[in-house]
Amino acid sequence: MMGNLNHIEETPLILIADDDETIRVLLRRVMEQEGYRVAEASDGTTCLESFARLQPNIILLDARMPGIDGFSCCLQLQSLPGGDRTPILIVTSLEDRASVDQAFQAGASDFITKPIQIAVLRHRVRRLLKTGKVVDELRRQTEREQLLRTLLLRQMRESPSLDEVLNTTVSEVRHFLEADRVVIYKFSYSKDAVVVSEAVQPMLPSLQQTIAYANWFAEKRELYNRGHVVSTPDLNQADLPLSMIKFLQQAQVQAALEVPILLEDSLWGLLVAHQCTQPRQWFPFEIDALEQLAGQVALTIRHTILYENLHKLTQRLHLLATLDGLTQLANRRRFNEYLQQEWRRGAREQTHLSLILCDIDFFKGYNDSYGHQAGDECLKQVALAISQATRRPADLVARYGGEEFAVILPNTSVEGALYVAEEIRIKVKALGIQHDTSSVDRSITLSLGVAGIVPHHDTSPVTLITAADQALYRAKLEGRDRVVLQAHAEI
């Protein structure tokens, strides 16, 4: 994007394309007297090759050359990378209106006639170089604005990820500046800084997982806090702490541009560009672009923090709305949601879905004898034991009623569900919670009903619940403290 930046940094390069050696010598001498660098081409083909290789600032192109003439060459130059931005001065012996029109139609910026008037040539070249610089500056301004728009659009997307935004920012900035490395530092409470995002040239060392210590920024921190940019064209001449110099040498940094990222008037971090191949003068438009980007990054960080806090609050509210306050299991609402979800999935994938309904035997008598506080503690211990018997993340344990619990087992056959149910029964009984008023055992026990089905779209989860409830009813009728399976034929 910044291929013509060298036009400003270095002495302008003039490409002279003319088959007349005498003319080329004359033009070279004049241009070199003006302080320009000069390259030559003796025909149109060589001119095209030289342009692609050298990327000159301006081309002096003879209209009449063997092979590819000046007009055709000018036209072809427009299709080469950078050709449409490079001024072309056609040198011609023709002054008729048709030739002038042909020159401009081919893409020429201006023309000059033979015999060449040196003063006119010098003036035209200076004017075209100045115009080229203005065009380059406008183009870079447009690119900068486009970059800002692109990043802003990314940041305005629904539910933006901060990591994604930061990674996009460093990548776009490195491309925009043609820098060797761009990083975003985040300051910690200790005022040390860590790299949270990086875009770096291959073969250069990465700064990820490295720490920039607080004392390195001590002298500049007040500047950062006021939003000032720190531009260092040559780090070899900078007055920096010795430890920081060693760190930058290891990172092969020779020039740096540091732009603060301020969040609510406090320093959050830095947007930093590194040049590693050579010292570099940072231009005002580059500094301005990074300042604007740092402001956009700060807005995004604020937006992301607000979004993440809102998301956490929403999740917390949803959790509270679907959680049983006493046992911390899923509540009846969550049970219904999850059963519907797994029913649809089972119908779609034609997989087994099993359900276990559990009931604490003679729990009313336990409450009456030991009190509601003891009853609540009993429910919590039973809930924990049931949860420990279900090991898969997809299994859901819910409080189904007062002393009733339910276990949804996706992708589980009735054989598997029977195994889980028996393990639940054994674990609860092993708790040894005293229950002297029970007619089954002197400790808390469970009755469990099991049912399983492969769901179909033309049935509903009520079918499965009814079957498990019937099995639970039979378990109670048959003496409690047992597991009963509802036969497939009855579902």
Long-range Cβ pairs for the range 193-197 (8 Å, 24+) = 193/217, 193/269, 193/270, 196/163, 196/166, 196/269, 197/163, 197/166, 197/167, 197/169, 197/170
d(CA 195, CA 193): 7
Name the E strands within 31-179. 37-41, 58-62, 88-92, 110-113
**Closest residue by Cα to residue 108 from 67, 69, 50:** 69
Three-state DSSP class for residue 147: helix
219 is catalytic: no
Residues in the chain: 491
Of 40, 172, 342, 403, the active-site residue reads 403
Three-state DSSP class for residue 251: coil
Three-state DSSP class for residue 401: coil
Q: Which residues of 243-253 are buried (b: 16+ CB within 10 A; e: fewer)?
A: ebbebbeebbb
Sign, CA dihedral 341-345-347-348, equals positive
**Closest residue by Cα to residue 214 from 205, 206, 224:** 224
Output the six-digit token pair for 109: 């910026």
Q: Kindly list the catalytic residues.
A: 403
